[in-house]
Structures are given as C-alpha cells and as structure tokens.
Amino acid sequence: MDIEFNLKQIRAKIEESARKANRDPDEIRLIAVTKYVSAEQINQALACGITDIAESRVQNALTKLPLIQTGITKHFIGTLQTNKVKPVIENFDLIHSVDRMSLVEELAKQADKLGKRVSFLIQLNISGEATKHGLDPDELPGFIDNLTHYSNLEPCGLMTMAPLEADPEAVRPVFRKLKELFDKYAQRADILPKWRFLSMGMSQDYQIAIEEGSNMVRIGTAIFNSHK
Ligand SMILES: *Cc1c(COP(=O)(O)O)cnc(C)c1O
C-alpha cells in the first residue's frame, strides 16, 4: 500500500480532468473515504495533505475519530438512521446522505437540542436503481420547499452515487442530470444561501464526474487500495 503514491496519481488525474473541462482544479475538493481503513492509515493520508475524510458507519467511525489528527473536515456519507442522528451531528461537519423528510425532522430536532446548525447535502437517486438510496428527483422541489421551514438546517447542495457500470462512460448522463438540478437551485440564493457543493464521483468514475461539474469527489479504494 502506498498512500502517498496513490494520492499523487489521483491529484494529477483530478487536475487533468479539470483542465479538460476548463475548470480550476483548486475548486475540486478531494475527500478521502476512510470507512474501511484504520486510524493509522487515515493519519498517513492526512500527512500527505488530505484535509477531508468521509465515513459511512457511525459506530465504527466513533472508535477511530479520537485517534486521528484534529482540525480536519469530517463528512458523513452513509445511510443515516434516525436513531444515529445525534452522534452524527456531534461528530461530523457535513452530511451527504439526507434523503427523506423523517430524517430532516430528526436533524432539526437534535440540532435544536444541541444548539447547532446542521449542514447537509440532499442525496438523489438519479439512476432509479432500487438498490440505491436517495430521493427521487421528481420529489426534489417539494422536499426543498419543506426544508425552508427549518432555520437550523443548511442545505448546501446535492450528492449522488452512480450505478456501477463496466463502462465508466455509462454514468455520464447521471452526473449531467445532477449538475443540471444543482445549477437550477444555485439560482435560489433567496431560499438556499449556502448552496455550493456538488458531491459526485468515486474511485471508478471521478474523472467523468469532474468533467461534468463535480466539486467534491469521494474516493476510497483508489487511495487505500482497500477492498470490501
Ligand atoms: C464507499 C463510498 C465511496 C468510495 O467508494 P470507492 O469506490 O472506494 O472510491 C464514495 N461514496 C460513498 C457514498 C460510499 O459509500
């Protein structure tokens, strides 16, 4: 395993894709997905300049977080059960996986109790795969209307997971669609003042996601060579 080598390659590819799309590479945030790796490996990645990590299982993350260097940004990207909302709000800076109203209500309730504001992304299921979590894009307008009732919640953008395809090009329309929806709501600063993150792209498909406008890529396997 050579985290430093992997990161160098990934950064070069991010830059290459950004240039191809006439974008500034500095506007793309590289998030290291650390769900399958130890605190020691996380610290190695941090030593190589990683500033953002993402976890998907609450219990597992809580055992590792106290062992890692402070001052980094922590993202929660997993399926979020309502009974885990409190520890997630307490330990993470941005939640990428908000996909239903019952979860929004619980986030607002716990945020209120903790006297915190909660930043999050809305996860959409663009491909319509039954196995994928995420809100149906047709429900997005109503969902956003409802969000405006909660003053302690800050919707910051959109997230999706593309289907696993043998041909990475097959996911391009999924990313294009998410970017279109992202841009539409970027014009609603009146109701969405913090709207700024488009989280799409994983080890398999981040270069295409960047070409299609992603500004947050979530990469695990390609950094750590870890396997499920
Ligand atoms: C695991 C995971 C990733 C990272 O996947 P890799 O293929 O290992 O890069 C990204 N996003 C989410 C939501 C994940 O669960």
Q: Which residues are within 8 A (CB) of 30 and not within 5 positions of it... i.e. 6 or more apart?
A: 10, 11, 14, 50, 52, 217, 219
Ligand 1 site, residue 220, Cβ cutoff 6 A: yes
Say yes or no: CB of residue 221 within 6 Å of ligand 1: yes
- For residue 65, the Cα-to-chain-centroid distance in whole angstroms is 18
Q: Is the CB of 219 under 6 A from ligand 1?
A: yes
Does 228 score more than 60 pLDDT?
A: no
Among 163, 156, 225, which residue's Cα sits nearest to residue 9? 225
Strands 94-98 and 73-76: parallel
Q: How many domains does the chain contain in total?
A: 1
Q: Which atom of ligand 1 is nearest to the CA of 97?
A: 13
* Strands 118-124, 216-219: pairing kind: unpaired
Question: How many Cα neighbours within 13 Å face the side chain of 170?
Answer: 8
Percent of the chain exceeding pLDDT 70 equals 98
68 with 43: CB under 8 angstroms?
Answer: yes
Cβ 175 vs Cβ 212: under 8 Å: yes
- C-beta of 77 in contact with ligand 1 (< 6 A): yes
Q: Which atom of ligand 1 is nearest to the CA of 219?
A: 9
Nearby residues of 73 by Cβ (< 8 Å), 6 or more positions away: 51, 52, 53, 93, 94
Q: What is the pLDDT of residues 3-14, one digit of tens each?
A: 999 999 999 999
Tokens linked to 73: 């940004």
The alpha-helical segments, DSSP class H, found in 3-84 are: 3-20, 39-47, 58-64
* Structural domain of 53: 3-224
Instruction: Write out pLDDT tens, residues 112-156.
Output: 999 999 999 999 999 888 777 899 999 999 999 999 999 999 999
Could you give phi then psi for residue 157, rounded to 5 degrees? 150, -155
Report the chain's mean pLDDT, rounded to a whole number: 95
CATH number at residue 100: 3.20.20.10
Q: pLDDT digit string (tens) for 43-95?
A: 999 999 999 999 999 999 999 999 999 999 999 999 999 999 999 999 999 99
